[in-house]
Chain A
């Protein structure tokens, strides 16, 4: 009887929806970054599946439907890009240089540090897109042959770290310009950082949402090049 219920696509859909809704209520009440709705929802669902011995395949019957909607979320990213086009054109060189430098730093630091720490190749490939928005990060992870779930979690942990580290980084390096602050937060910590950038100011928020899309696109386009690098220099 219980098995029949969990194997229905409705189970995964409803479970995800209800848990996400409740996690939003908790987050709105306490407003602490670590209570990130995504993070608590994921931990809660994993715990539930393990405790009640529900197979992952059962959960994914409904979960697949949500995963299938991911491309639609990517299409919608054109909206923040379009809405910030005037600011982008005004400072195009500074913005594009900063985001490209950030993306390059992200990818090379992952490769070098992984090599230093002796991390498995499958994990390295999953970590490459850690600083970009999840739907585009999943494309990069898939192209490189990474593990999707590791990528998603690395992206969210990165986002949460960005919300914490921007204070000392800006202070220490005297990054005071609102445009520089917004681009730095968006390029490092995508949407989770952007919610914080919006609290710093309107320009920071707008620049951060612009950086999410552009950093994501630049990373997706560089992925095939990385494939060549992986082929030439096996990790």
Chain B
């Protein structure tokens, strides 16, 4: 129970700190919050092994949080109609390219590291 409170309270405090920073800096508040959390974990101010309760449940069920934003598509049906096939073709081509480029670049760099060693 104490651990659950630790998880919730620390994450909410970081949320508020990031939100505040986001108001003065040109980066989104939630990204600032993530950076703060990361730094606190790195310097062991917060212990990553404590975030295995509700944090794990949320990270394992991220999809749940995207259902309401997706249901809003009802309001944008007219923009999509007539574009569906084009969009699917675009996604297929683009995704093939991204996967090929990302994978190939990493592999080439890894081979170089290997030779340098």
The B24-81 residues at the A interface (CB cut-off 8 A) are: 26-31, 33-35, 37-38, 41-42, 48, 51, 55, 58-59, 61-76, 79-80
**What residues of B have a CB within 8 angstroms of the CB of A109 in the complex?**
93-94, 97-98
Instruction: Flag A8-52 by CB within 8 Å of B: 1 or 0 each.
Output: 000010001101100000000000000011100110011001100
Known contacts A120-B79, A157-B91; A102/B63 CB under 8 A = no
**What residues of A have a CB within 8 angstroms of the CB of B113 in the complex?**
91, 93-94
Consensus secondary structure, chain A interface: helix
Known contacts A78-B34, A117-B89; A66/B103 CB under 8 A = no
Contact between chains at B92 and A161 (CB < 8 Å): yes
**What residues of B have a CB within 8 angstroms of the CB of A211 in the complex?**
102
Q: Could you tell me how many residues of chain B have their Cβ less than 8 Å away from some Cβ of chain A?
A: 69
**What residues of A have a CB within 8 angstroms of the CB of B12 in the complex?**
72
A36 to B70, CA, bound (A): 14
A143 to B76, CA, bound (A): 18
Instruction: Classify chain A's interface size.
Output: 35 or more
**Shortest Cβ gap from A10 to chain B (Å):** 14
Asked if B90 CB lies within 8 Å of chain A CBs, one says yes
**What residues of B have a CB within 8 angstroms of the CB of A222 in the complex?**
none
Considering only CB atoms, which chain B residue lies closest to A190 in the complex? Answer: B62
Count A-B pairs with CB separation below 8 Å: 285
Considering only CB atoms, which chain B residue lies closest to A174 in the complex? Answer: B107
Q: From B86, B92, B109, give the contact of A98 (CB < 8 A).
A: B109
Among A59, A95, A101, the most chain B Cβ lie within 10 Å of the Cβ of A101
**What residues of B have a CB within 8 angstroms of the CB of A67 in the complex?**
65, 68-69
Contact between chains at A59 and B68 (CB < 8 Å): yes
Contact between chains at A91 and B28 (CB < 8 Å): no
A69 to B97, CA, bound (A): 33
Q: From B18, B33, B70, B94, give the contact of A153 (CB < 8 A).
A: B70
Contact between chains at A78 and B97 (CB < 8 Å): no
**What residues of B have a CB within 8 angstroms of the CB of A134 in the complex?**
62, 65-66, 69
Contact between chains at A16 and B90 (CB < 8 Å): no
Contact between chains at B69 and A105 (CB < 8 Å): no
Asked if A228 CB lies within 8 Å of chain B CBs, one says no
**What residues of B have a CB within 8 angstroms of the CB of A187 in the complex?**
98-99, 102
Considering only CB atoms, which chain A residue lies closest to B26 in the complex? Answer: A224
Asked if A144 CB lies within 8 Å of chain B CBs, one says no
Interface residues of B (CB under 8 A from A): 11-12, 14-15, 18-19, 26-31, 33-35, 37-38, 41-42, 48, 51, 55, 58-59, 61-76, 79-80, 83, 86-107, 109-110, 112-113
